[in-house]
A and B are shown apart, each in its own frame.
Chain A
Amino acid sequence: MNFAGIDIGSRSIELVVVDEDEQIVSALQADTGFDPITEAEKLTEQCDFDRIMATGYGRNLFEISFDAPTVTEIKAHALGAKTLFPEAGAILDIGGQDTKAISLFANGKIRKFEMNDRCAAGTGKFLEIMAGALGFTIDEFGRQALLAEKELSISSMCTVFAESEVTSLIAGGENRHEIALGLHASVMRRAASMISRVCPEGAIVFTGGVAKNPCMITLLEEKLGQKLLVPDDPQLVGALGAALLSKGK
């Protein structure tokens, strides 16, 4: 039998299928767009599975359309990360709209978690808008920021305020790499403080789309004083967790 997990997030949808031995047999991704159910349907048609479990913002919508069980992204990420890295003591997940910090007991159960409430400041969406304001693509944003010689301090974490701050820094003739580093640093400080508040013990796994950003990894490692464990596909961790839960793990 094959078991699927689908993570319908604000920016992208991931579908992971595992077999009886918990090996990944398919992993697919699509943009969420404005019709997540149709997108989800397209993904499910591309692979074979016997059971499916949904997580992410769109989980309840999926539950209604596909009569599938659901789990929160917090539990799904915890299990996904713990399976990939058995030494994991905590997970930091920075997605499109949410930042989550989760600490685990040794047996993998959730000890404590925090999540941003209402505002998406300090998430992938914030970085995406700032990259756009500086004329970088989201994929090159982190690499470009690492080229800066010094960090320009950005005081606002509100996306709209930060964007106007960036505009006035550009107008003031400041270097855009340094502005980029400043923006990364402000997101990093917020994420580091959130992960510290859940009292992590041991290794920290970094997941979500923002974990693909090399500047964010570097800054977080400096601040937290430890190497982060980053999966090859950090965006798939939630879907993997849901697939494993669907298998009954």
Chain B
Amino acid sequence: MGEDYKSMWMELGLDLDGHDALLNVLAQAYNDIFLSQKDRPETMSYFDFVMSEVHGLRIRELLEEKKTGRKIIGSYCVFVPEEIALAANATLIGLCSGADFATDEVEKLLPRNTCALIKSSFGFKLGKVCPYLESADMIVGENTCDGKKKSYESFKSLVDNLYIMDLPQVKSEQGRELLKNEYFRFKKAVEELTGVTITADSLKDAIRTVNAKRAAVHRLSLLRRHDPAPISGLDALLANQIFFYDNPARFTQSVNAICEELEKRVQKKDGAFPAKTVRILLSGCPQAVPNWKLPAIVEQSGAVIVGEESCVGERGCRNLTDDSGNSVDEMMEAIIDRYFKIDCAIFTPNGERIDHIKEMSKTYRADGVIHYGLQFCQPYLMEAIPVERALEKESIPCLRIETDYSMEDAGQLTTRVEAFIEQLR
């Protein structure tokens, strides 16, 4: 990224040295992990470009939007409805996480045994290296796991624009009522932020925009059921990650372009890996950029990841929102219905998630499931055991992995992943 962004980053209050260091690591990892892959689809070049400009051109675009009076809302969770932000003339973006940063500073505010995802989001703030966070007019925190909801209490002292969204933990009538109240409260807060009142037309447009984006990602996912898989799991994960940063319409168009190329590949039986390669479904915690460690180990060990049962993946974009309503209230109900189906591990009980993992294993013809849990992430780590048991009952082998963003376990992780792949061959 050129010199011309320096002044922009300075104005945002970033720490230039730290930020340079971060970008260097990111570029190196991207080069080693993504660009070194063989037989990548040509249309992936768009995502390569987006990643190379993830803190550059995209931030400039957002700042241009802000100049025209548009507001930027940052979020950490798929429960924050993008439709509502868009309908009120705001842009929703995912905030930085996925790498260890400024850990010493973070551990002054959070216990050491906090999950890497939470620590990372604090690290990006304390280290002043996330231009998305610094561009946001409103930051939405959400009461998901105990770690996140309690950490937002501390996060509040670091930013002056934190909005907290409560979330239900049981899929009952009362749970839905809670979500409904929260989404209407969020709608009001967004309207106050932007000064724009959401109308039936603007909401319908927003629903269609987000549906198109989700449908495109889903179209991409479904192409992966073919053998040979036409795209690597790493490249598909990248699309799922960029989902949270990019301009929605442009993203949709670009994903559809990839799908068109992949459809041709499928017809010609061209794959990112040879036919009969061991197929893995990755299930569990979300993987924000640049958390590519486990998928890279899996694919460098000779298997292909054919699906992500994750918030950054199918859990986050499986369902579309019904856009047939004619009033704001009707469409708000449809939005609530759509989001209430997300089978996050904060819900209890959460049998739907196990059903979805089994269903995805069949749809994408996975030979085995790797369950990915971030260390100290109780909800997903606790669900890992029942998930493994349920899969064993169906004779689907499962490997449970518990890790973080560091590289200290890379050796052991590689051995376990390789042994799992040997077991599936």
Contacts and interface: CB of A to CB of B under 8 A. Distances in A.
Contacts of A57: 411, 415
Given A109-B423, A110-B423, A117-B402, A72 B412 contact: no
A75 B419 contact: yes
A110 B422 contact: yes
A74 B419 contact: yes
Interface in A81-125: 98, 109-110, 112-113, 115-118
B422 A117 contact: no
Q: Which of A72, A73, A112 has the most chain B CB within a 10 Å cutoff? A: A72
Interface string B375-411: 0000000000000000000000100011100001101
A79 B418 CA distance: 16
A72 B415 contact: yes
A183 interface: no
Nearest to B416: A115
A71 interface: yes
B413 to A, nearest CB: 7
Contacts, number: 41
With a 10 A CB-CB cut-off, give which of B401, B412, B416, B419 has the most chain A CB atoms.
B419
Interface size class of B (residues with CB under 8 A): 10 to 19
A171 B423 CA distance: 49
Interface residues of A, number: 15
Nearest to B422: A75
Which of A57, A75, A98, A117 has most B Cβ within 10 Å? Answer: A117
A56 to B, nearest CB: 9
Interface string A137-166: 000000000000000000000000000000
A113 B412 contact: no
Contacts of B412: 98, 115-118
A110 B368 CA distance: 13
Interface in B313-362: none
B394 to A, nearest CB: 15
A115 B409 CA distance: 12
Nearest to B392: A112
Contacts of B397: 112
Contacts of A71: 422
20 contacts: A57-B415, A71-B422, A72-B415, A72-B419, A72-B422, A73-B419, A74-B419, A74-B422, A75-B422, A98-B415, A109-B423, A110-B422, A113-B416, A113-B419, A115-B415, A115-B416, A115-B419, A116-B412, A117-B401, A117-B416
Interface of A: 57, 71-75, 98, 109-110, 112-113, 115-118
Given A72-B422, A117-B412, 14 more contacts: A57-B415, A71-B422, A72-B418, A72-B419, A74-B419, A75-B419, A98-B415, A110-B423, A113-B416, A113-B419, A113-B423, A116-B412, A117-B401, A117-B416
